[in-house]
């Protein structure tokens, strides 16, 4: 019995040596943080309404791996994005770059707003011209006053 206990104690001493800490999911937290930041700005091409960060599609996993590799190589965020744009096109960016082919995209909403405001003002001006003030005659004024008095009493 004593021997058994000693053996147990000896074994338990050995145990911590063997139990290895679970490998962390993210090898390098800084790299993973940048990976998430970049891939949230990128569209997954398979599930087009998902970001690269959130997609479970095989291609998204491969691309995340690729981006992780690029970050480890020391590429800047913009270089990583350029890498993907040069292969998959502007479509991968949720925030398209401002350049001649995207001017309309960026300016369009403001242009529409401007057109809307312009038409509204023109319409209001036109209407105020059409409505002509016709002052009440003395008789009508008296009638109106009488009616108002009736209502008050």
Partner 1 sequence: MNKFTLPLVGFIALVALLAVGLGLNPREVPSPLVGKPAPDFKAPQLHDPGADFSPKDMLGKVWLFNVWASWCVSCREEHPIIIEYTKRPDAIPVIGLNYKDKREDGQRWLTRFGDPYVLSAFDLDGRVGINYGVYGVPETYLIDKAGVIRFKQIGPITPTVLEEKILPLIKELNK
Binding residues for partner 1, rule: CB under 8 A, are 45-46, 48, 58-59, 62-63, 66, 85-91
Whether the CB-CB separation of 81 and 38 falls below 8 Å is answered with: yes
Q: Which is nearer to partner 1, 14 or 118 (CB)?
A: 118
Is 64 exposed, middle or buried, given 0-12, 13-18 or 19+ CB atoms closer than 10 A? buried
- Least distance (Å) between residue 53 CB and partner 1: 17
- Least distance (Å) between residue 107 CB and partner 1: 17
Q: Which is nearer to partner 1, 87 or 142 (CB)?
A: 87
User: DSSP for 40-58?
Assistant: TTBB-SSSTTSBTTT--SH
Q: Which is nearer to partner 1, 11 or 46 (CB)?
A: 46
Q: Which is nearer to partner 1, 86 or 137 (CB)?
A: 86
- Least distance (Å) between residue 9 CB and partner 1: 49
Q: Nearest CA to 95 among 83, 84, 86, 106?
A: 106
- Least distance (Å) between residue 76 CB and partner 1: 19
CA dist., res. 17 & res. 70, Å (int):
36
DSSP tag of 73: T
């Amino acid at each position: 019995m004593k021997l058994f206990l000693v053996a147990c104690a000896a074994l338990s001493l050995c145990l911590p040596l063997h139990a290895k800490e679970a490998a962390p999911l993210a090898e390098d937290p800084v790299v993973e943080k940048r990976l998430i930041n970049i891939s949230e700005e990128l569209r997954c091409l398979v599930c087009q309404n998902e970001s690269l960060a959130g997609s479970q599609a095989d291609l998204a996993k491969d691309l995340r791996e690729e981006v992780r590799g690029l970050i480890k190589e020391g590429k800047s965020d913009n270089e990583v994005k350029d890498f993907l744009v040069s292969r998959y096109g502007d479509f991968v960016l949720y925030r398209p770059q401002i350049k001649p082919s995207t001017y309309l995209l960026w300016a369009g909403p403001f242009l529409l707003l401007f057109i809307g405001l312009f038409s509204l003002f023109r319409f209001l001006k036109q209407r105020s011209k059409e409505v002509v003030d016709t002052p009440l005659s003395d008789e009508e004024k008296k009638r109106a006053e009488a009616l108002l008095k009736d209502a008050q009493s």
